[in-house]
Amino acid sequence: MSSSREGYHHGSLARALEDAAMHLLEARPAHEISLREVARAANVSHNAPYHHFTDRLGLLRTLAERSMGDLLVAVREAVDAAPTPSAALLAGGGAYIAFAVDRPHAFEAVYDPTVCVPGAPTETMAPLIEALERVLFGAAAGAGLDSEQEALAVWGLMHGLGMLSAAGHMAREQAQHSYAAALDRMLK
């Protein structure tokens, strides 16, 4: 253990490491973050992360899971605050796009297929994915887009616009307006 033990309180090493990793994720992609760097950021010994993360993939999974939890909260809060079903779908998509743009490295971590293998999510990630699908598909159904294909199309629309905007191919406002315009056409 390093002499900088005051970086966390006894019993909360895991939380301190995860918080440090999430802080690093704000500045750069998950695949560029090392366990040693997380230890430095958490102010603990370089071996401390191995008590919580079995390896680098464990770190990446944790980053993806925590980021998915944050995305779910943002979308759910936006949907729940909307006054009408169509406004809920618009707000949920807007929150999804905003998350992709405002937290691009977290968004990328969520959908990294080498970390969250499609069809084989971790025990922690699976319920988060299911919850996000319930929120998005529920909002779509409430607005009248009640088939699975329609809900997937809406999700694909918000996801694609979010990725394009996060990558700098369009302004956030343009992505938001494009989502609203396409959704308006779909709901007619």
pLDDT tens readout for residues 76-119: 999 999 999 999 999 999 999 999 999 999 999 999 999 999 99
Q: What is the pLDDT of residues 17-27, one digit of tens each?
A: 999 999 999 99
| Calpha distance 6→116 (Å, rounded) | 34
Alpha-carbon span 88 to 137, nearest angstrom:
11
- In the CATH scheme, what is the code of domain 1-53? 1.10.10
Number of H helices, E strands in the chain: 8, 0
Q: Residue 10: pLDDT above 70?
A: no
Position 9 confidence tier, pLDDT thresholds 50, 70, 90: very low
Structural domain boundaries of the chain? 1-53, 60-186
Q: Say whether pTM exceeds 0.95.
A: no
CA 46-52-53 angle, to 5 degrees, is: 85
32, 67, 103, 106, 153 from 28: Cα distances, Å: 7, 14, 10, 9, 30
60-186 topology per CATH: Tetracycline Repressor; domain 2 (1.10.357)
Count of beta carbons in the 10 Å neighbourhood of residue 37: 17
d(CA 186, CA 168): 26
Task: Output the six-digit token pair for 49.
Answer: 């992360």
Range 52-81 burial, b when 16+ CB lie within 10 A, else e: bbeeeeebbbbbbbbbbbbbbebbbebbee
